[in-house]
Amino acid sequence: MTDVLTGVTIGSPAHGGHCVARVDGRVVFVRHTAPGEVVDVRLTEAGEGRKFWRGDAVAVHEASPDRVPSRWPEAGPGGVGGAELAHLTLPAQRRWKAEVVRDTLRRIGHVELEQPLEVHALGEDDARDGLATRTRIDLVVDDAGRAGMFRHRSHDVVALGEMPLAVPAITELDLFAPGRWQGVPAGTRLDVVAPSDGPAVVLADGRQLDLDHPGRAFRREERQARAGRPDRGRRPRGQEAPAQRVAVREQVSSAVGDLSYRVDATGFWQVHRDAPATLVAAVLDALRPEPGARVVDLYSGAGLFTLPLARAVGERGRVDAVEVNQRAVKDARRNLHADPQAVLHVSGVTATVIEGLGAKGSVDGIVLDPPRSGAGAPVMNALTELRPRRLVYVACDPAALARDLRTALDGGYELVALDAYDLFPHTHHVECVAVLEPR
């Protein structure tokens, strides 16, 4: 076996940011290429015992007309993950994503879309070439005190020189200067957050750093440890839950008014600067909640959808929000303090929890925004048994969406609308909003 396969003809895109090629009867998933290209492929995972191989396109002999110079070469072949489609035009990226969604729904869910699927751009993304969209980025400190990211499918830290996908408020922090993070232990994770209301912050393993002296807190801990006086306000390194809690403020404009959210800086919030408003609008348009209605928000987080839904149903209505993360629910309580029609449940989303929400037909609409793994058959079966007039499924993974749609369709629902949104330009990720109604 050679490390490089030469003259490989590339086939169709597949879920995960690669295209499918076949070499001597073997399937090879190739990144950094495009359908129809002829390329040389450097193998990154191979072996006679593997069902398929993986590789990167490292030389292009016949280029796609959609190919352009990469917007972020550091995320190219052999580099970090996070921009595997940066070598394609934005329209080509969206066609790629639409094809992957259609193919995934067909193969996994046996769902055939009757209408063409358009992946919608957000805000001014086209004018900005899909750059400067991300309000949150994750970095890792290397042995030389530089910020970087992990090499794709690796634990090797690659020091970066730039992050063109980040919003200007992050770029202005000068995160990638040589030695910028001296004194911060190698391997420390940096969470960089630029909220819509307030200054950008950097957190290291959960604590907010003084950007003028980023290593100061760590040096203080080392001195206290040597003196036998550990800082009780700090957590031992390696624990998951930080002792310090840093919150930021997010503002979202919507059809039901301007919405204000307090969220945990390291908690879940949509990364694209225009994503919260886009998804709130999509959910309200899809669910069409009326005053006095009863709706349910599953996997509700800090209340991104719960708050506008509560405003839409008004004081005579009710919104039941279910979220397992206690910190997110704590934020949601603050965000919804003026909306008593919102009832918050600290719980995982299970069939039993859904069955406890009411009798069959008692719920007008349900929104669910599950994690990448999806909701799963037991939850989807429980939802169809509850028989709401409308189900709105916000999906970040086409494969999970396909599986859950299949369950809902078998449970007596039909897919009446499907929209897709390009929340992560230059990556393979795509967000879908599916609308289901009883047959």
Catalytic sites, residue numbers: 396
- Cβ contacts of 293 within 8 Å, gap of 6 or more: 312, 313, 317, 364, 365
Q: Which amino acid is at 138?
A: D
Order across the sheet with 119-120: list the strands: 119-120, 413-421, 431-438, 390-395, 365-368, 294-298, 318-323, 342-346
Phi, psi (degrees; rounded to nearest 5) at 264: -60, 130
Is 299 annotated as belonging to a binding site? yes
Task: Give the CA distances from residue 253 to residues 170, 196, 335, in Å, rounded to whole numbers and listed in that order.
Answer: 22, 11, 15
On whether 118 is known to bind a ligand per the annotation, the reply is no
The pair phi, psi for residue 45, each rounded to 5°, is -145, 120
Q: Give me Rg for the CA atoms of the chain.
A: 23
Q: Is 323 flagged in the annotation as binding?
A: yes
- Each residue of 223-254: b (16+ CB within 10 Å) or e? eeeeeeeeeeebbeeeeeebeebebbebebeb
Is 45 among the annotated ligand-binding positions?
Answer: no
Cα 134 → chain centroid: 11
Distance CA 122, CA 396 (A): 16
Torsion of CA 378, 384, 388, 392, to 10 degrees: 70
Q: Exposed e or buried b for every residue in 158-178, given b needs 16+ CB within 10 A?
A: bbbeebbbbbebbbebebbee
**Helices 275-287 and 306-313, axial angle in degrees (round to 10):** 40
DSSP conformation class of 428 = S
Quote the CA–CA distance of 145 and 9 in Å, as a whole number: 42
Distances (CA, A) of 322 to 315, 334, 372: 19, 15, 17
Alpha helices, DSSP H only, in 387-437? 398-410
Phi then psi dihedrals of residue 147, to 5 deg: -90, 135
Residues of each annotated binding site for S-adenosyl-L-methionine: 270, 299, 323, 369
